[in-house]
Amino acid sequence: MCHIAVEKLLKAVVAEITDRVPPKTHNLLYLVKMAALDMPQDMFDFIARINNASVVTRYPEDFNQLMESYPENVVKDYLESTEKALTWLKHHKKLKK
């Protein structure tokens, strides 16, 4: 759900900045590039991590293996990082006020 929250907000940012309908993609890095966002490196690194986890977590073949791959401390880190990214995106200087 962290990935999809960031994806939807990035698509809103792309739409507002470009005045075009955003592309049908789940690639967060592509959306960041389209919006030409000057994102802090740690935030970009986090978005790259959840970008790679998207399909695995959205459509798990083995739920038990998924739970082992994403223990509680990792999930908490992802949630906190997602909240920071969403807040940063909502207040980006490129957005119309």
Residue 8 · residue 24 · CB < 8 Å: no
- Predicted model pTM: 0.84
Q: What is the pLDDT of residues 36-66, one digit of tens each?
A: 999 999 999 999 999 987 655 555 566 667 6
Q: Which of 7-11, 17-21, 25-29, 53-57 has the lowest mean pLDDT?
A: 53-57
Greater confidence (4 vs 62) lies with 4
CA 19, CA 13: separation in Å to the nearest integer?
10
Spans of all domains in the chain: 2-90
The neighbour count for residue 14, using CB atoms within 10 Å, is 23
